[in-house]
Chains A and B, each alone.
Chain A
Amino acid sequence: MVQRRRSSNWRLWAVVAVIGVATLVITARLAQLQILDHQRYASEARLTHVSQETVSGRRGALLDRNGYPLAASEDTYDVMVEQRAWKDSDTAAKAAQAISAVTAGQPDAMLAAVAGTDVFEVPVIRGLNYEQATKVRQLGLNGVRLLLSSSRVYPEGNLAAQLLGFVGRDNIGLTGLEADLESILGGAKGSRTVEHDGLGNQLAWGTNHEVAPEPGSDIVLTIDRYIQRLVEKELDAAIEQHKAGGGTIIVIEPKTGEILAMASRPSFDVTKPDLSDESKVALFRNRAITDQYEPGSVFKLVTASAALDTGAVGPDTLWYDSGVVNVSGWSIYNWNFSANGTQTVTQILSKSLNTGAAWLAQQLGPDRFYQYVDRFGFGRSTGIGLSGEAPGRVRTPQNDADNWSPVDMTTNSFGQGISVTPLQMAMALATIANDGLAMKPHIVKEIISPSGRRAIQPEPLGQVISPETARTLRQMMGVVVDGIPKSLLDVQGYKVGGKTGTANIAAGDGGYRPDAYISSFVGVVPEENPVLSVLVKIDEPKDVPWGTVVAAPAFQRIVQPALAYMRVPPDQPVLVSEIR
């Protein structure tokens, strides 16, 4: 009896021990799961049940100086499909067919998008408008929801395409102002965190946290859509008429430095930018600030300004043109190889004499000549605030003593052997138009945020030449324009000052390309008190190279309607008529 009781006690204790050990193991495991590794498992659970999506605020609009939108955002919708809701092929096919019927999407592409992924949900069609989105919502399909997105719209079409730039699919600016002003236009992104049950339905009592996005600010540009359109139309016409390779036109308000229009060709379709073709990427750049060229005879204005401002010469100072200037073993000739005898400084400009410009530079000497080149802003960026701006290239005795020679200054005096951007040249002209006071060029006029408006004030950079010198030079530019046939340049009712240029194009091997020229015209109007300064540059015209023939007529066709549009009264109070 005692033996039997001992045996049953042993078995009982064994069972108790097993249960005890099992309990300890389970307790230890629970402690590991719920205490030691709590954070890890809790975060894994959150990842499964809690989803977070980034919410973008409405991107700010780019407006012209009068408030007309050049680029604005439109709300669009992306159709998101839960992968497991379309696991059944019949259900998926019917749903895709139903969506396709109201959106004109491809059902096969939608099915492929869902089948080819293992993420929770995927977009099957993007960019639906409000009407289409409403129809999709009314379908009431299981596992299908609409995600609010936005797309960029250009009410004025391709106007100022290179300047404005475009945004990517994620609504972030890729080129132009869209990229440069991303921090202002884009606003601040928000987020939406929600908790789902096992079926993917949102839990009413679960995590539901939303950080509202901040909308981007609208930006008012200095661009005037009317003048910009006029400029682009005339640029296209000039390029077509002269079978040119491209060109650039810039219109500036000299008193403020505001860019009223800036256009370059060739350009691209901003509504459908082609990012797949690398050869077309070059079309996206704003050539008015990125491309450097040798300006040619229009640069004689800078040389003449310096010579007049230092008092080295006056407009009527006489000089003898023998037709050639010899410097450091090089012979410099006039563009038509002419020898003009006794000439005034004004005639150096009106006849565009290379030998005369070389003489003016020699009167100044390299120090003073390059000092004025620097004061006009050549060789450094203008500070307009657009990315990709080239500084230009000016070789001086100071910055390149080993390679600089006196012949460099001689060729620089008539705009060869020096590289500038179209904007630099246009700003030098604007300085002359603004009585010698250089203004910082700017493209943003005002920023309108939900908290208020901030106007960008014009910023003077400094007095480059005296007001008297600037006025004298404008009168000399008036003489230059008087010498241009009326059939090519005649702005009815207004006195115009200007300068033509026909520049060789550098070949890259130190020489120049044969029969390849840049034709340009820079002008200010009205000459007495300019409200517009305009640079017209046409690249490689095929018929005639002369700036007088190629660029000056475009200048006239731009400023004539622009002055009327800007309500600038004609110089003389008379009845003026124009017959076209």
Chain B
Amino acid sequence: MATAQKTHKTSAVSELLRSPSLPALLTIAAIVIGLAALLPLVQSSDATSINGNIQKLEQEKSDWQARLHEIELGVASLGSLDHIEREATQRLHMKPPQSVQYITVDVPAPAGHKLPSRFLPPQPEPQQSGSSIWHKLFGWFPLP
């Protein structure tokens, strides 16, 4: 019985080898292996493309920052005392006063202009008062 089974197995392998579907199987296997080999290439290509995009975006960010700084300084130059005086005398034809009058009044002086904030960092947001529902819940527990 066992001999008969072994004979059957051997014949199945040899049948497979002789089968006309073997080339097709080998072709499929080759394609699978080829695709698997292509995968790192696709990944590598994708990473290169992303890297290129990141560099391009960084370049754009850098350009915008440069533009912003240039505009900031342009505004600063327009606000310079020399420029203000030039505009006043040349464009608006203003002249220094011939007569100056100082009048004392019994009200406080108006508040000074706020600082131009273009070079100053934004003020921190005021802390929101009150705690969240989770804080309240935790507050009920006797935690240290």
> How far is B70's CA from A134's CA once the two chains are assembled, in angstroms?
14
From the candidates A72, A148, A225, A493, name the one contacting B119 in the complex (CB within 8 A).
A72
Q: Give the residues in chain A near B69, CB-CB below 8 Å.
A: 58, 73-75
The answer to whether B41 has its CB under 8 Å from any CB of chain A is no
Q: Give the residues in chain B near A66, CB-CB below 8 Å.
A: 113, 115-116
Interface range on chain B (Cβ under 8 Å from partner): 35 or more
- Minimum C-beta distance from B24 to chain A (A): 37
Q: Give the residues in chain B near A63, CB-CB below 8 Å.
A: 119
Q: Give the residues in chain B near A67, CB-CB below 8 Å.
A: 115-117, 119-120
Closest to B121 in A: A448
Within 8 A of A (CB), among B32-74: 44, 47-48, 51-52, 62-63, 65-67, 69-70, 72-73
Q: Give the residues in chain B near A570, CB-CB below 8 Å.
A: 102, 104
Tell me the count of chain A residues lying within 8 A, CB to CB, of chain B. Answer: 45
Closest to B69 in A: A75
The answer to whether B19 has its CB under 8 Å from any CB of chain A is no
Complex interface: stretch among A150-158, A294-302, A509-517 = A150-158
From the candidates A74, A226, A569, name the one contacting B73 in the complex (CB within 8 A).
A74
Interface string of A65-89 (1 = CB under 8 A from B): 0111100111100000000000000
Known A218-B120, A225-B81, A575-B101; further 10 A-B contacts with Cβ < 8 A: A75-B65, A75-B70, A148-B66, A153-B77, A156-B80, A204-B48, A205-B48, A448-B121, A577-B101, A580-B98
The answer to whether B79 has its CB under 8 Å from any CB of chain A is yes
Q: Give the residues in chain A near B103, CB-CB below 8 Å.
A: 575-576
From the candidates B62, B79, B100, B112, name the one contacting A577 in the complex (CB within 8 A).
B100
The answer to whether A564 has its CB under 8 Å from any CB of chain B is yes
Q: Give the residues in chain B near A225, CB-CB below 8 Å.
A: 81
Q: Give the residues in chain A near B100, CB-CB below 8 Å.
A: 492, 564, 577-578, 580
Closest to B99 in A: A579
Query: Is B65 within 8 A of A575, CB to CB?
Result: no
From the candidates B66, B67, B81, B106, name the one contacting A226 in the complex (CB within 8 A).
B81
> How far is B65's CA from A69's CA once the two chains are assembled, in angstroms?
18
From the candidates A134, A156, A159, A579, name the one contacting B98 in the complex (CB within 8 A).
A579
> How far is B105's CA from A573's CA once the two chains are assembled, in angstroms?
8
> Which residue among A58, A61, A130, A450 has the maximum number of chain B CB atoms within 10 Å of its CB?
A130
- Minimum C-beta distance from A196 to chain B (A): 14
The answer to whether B97 has its CB under 8 Å from any CB of chain A is yes
Query: Is B76 within 8 A of A69, CB to CB?
Result: yes
> How far is B40's CA from A205's CA once the two chains are assembled, in angstroms?
13
Interchain residue pairs with CB less than 8 A apart (10): A67-B115, A72-B72, A155-B73, A156-B80, A204-B48, A204-B51, A205-B44, A205-B47, A575-B101, A575-B104
> How far is B51's CA from A148's CA once the two chains are assembled, in angstroms?
20
Closest to B96 in A: A580
- Minimum C-beta distance from B117 to chain A (A): 7
Within 8 A of B (CB), among A22-74: 58, 61, 63, 66-69, 72-74
Closest to A494 in B: B102
Q: Give the residues in chain B near A5, CB-CB below 8 Å.
A: none
> Which residue among A129, A156, A205, A567 has the maximum number of chain B CB atoms within 10 Å of its CB?
A156
Q: Give the residues in chain B near A157, CB-CB below 8 Å.
A: 80, 82
The answer to whether B109 has its CB under 8 Å from any CB of chain A is yes
> Which residue among A72, A450, A573 has the maximum number of chain B CB atoms within 10 Å of its CB?
A72
Within 8 A of B (CB), among A138-173: 148, 153, 155-157, 159
- Minimum C-beta distance from B57 to chain A (A): 14
> How far is B101's CA from A574's CA once the two chains are assembled, in angstroms?
10
Q: Give the residues in chain B near A564, CB-CB below 8 Å.
A: 100, 102
From the candidates B51, B72, B98, B102, name the one contacting A576 in the complex (CB within 8 A).
B102
Interface string of A118-132 (1 = CB under 8 A from B): 000000000001100
Q: Which 3 A-B pairs have the closest CB atoms?
A: A67-B115, A75-B66, A155-B76
> How far is B80's CA from A66's CA once the two chains are assembled, in angstroms?
13
Query: Is A156 within 8 A of B109, CB to CB?
Result: no
Q: Give the residues in chain A near B66, CB-CB below 8 Å.
A: 75, 130, 133, 148
Closest to A578 in B: B100
The answer to whether A395 has its CB under 8 Å from any CB of chain B is no
Q: Give the residues in chain A near B81, CB-CB below 8 Å.
A: 156, 159, 225-226, 229
Q: A130-B63, A204-B51, A569-B104 are in contact. Are A69 and B97 (CB under 8 A)?
A: no
Q: Give the residues in chain A near B109, CB-CB below 8 Å.
A: 567, 569
> How far is B12's CA from A396's CA once the two chains are assembled, in angstroms?
120
Closest to A158 in B: B82
Within 8 A of A (CB), among B87-144: 96-104, 106, 109, 112-113, 115-117, 119-121
Within 8 A of B (CB), among A102-131: 129-130
> How far is B75's CA from A155's CA once the two chains are assembled, in angstroms?
9
> How far is B80's CA from A159's CA once the two chains are assembled, in angstroms?
10
> How far is B101's CA from A153's CA once the two chains are assembled, in angstroms?
38
Q: Give the residues in chain B near A573, CB-CB below 8 Å.
A: 104, 106
- Minimum C-beta distance from A356 to chain B (A): 37
> How far is B120's CA from A448's CA once the two chains are assembled, in angstroms?
7
Query: Is B76 within 8 A of A68, CB to CB?
Result: yes
Within 8 A of B (CB), among A525-580: 564, 567, 569-570, 572-580
Query: Is A493 within 8 A of B102, CB to CB?
Result: yes
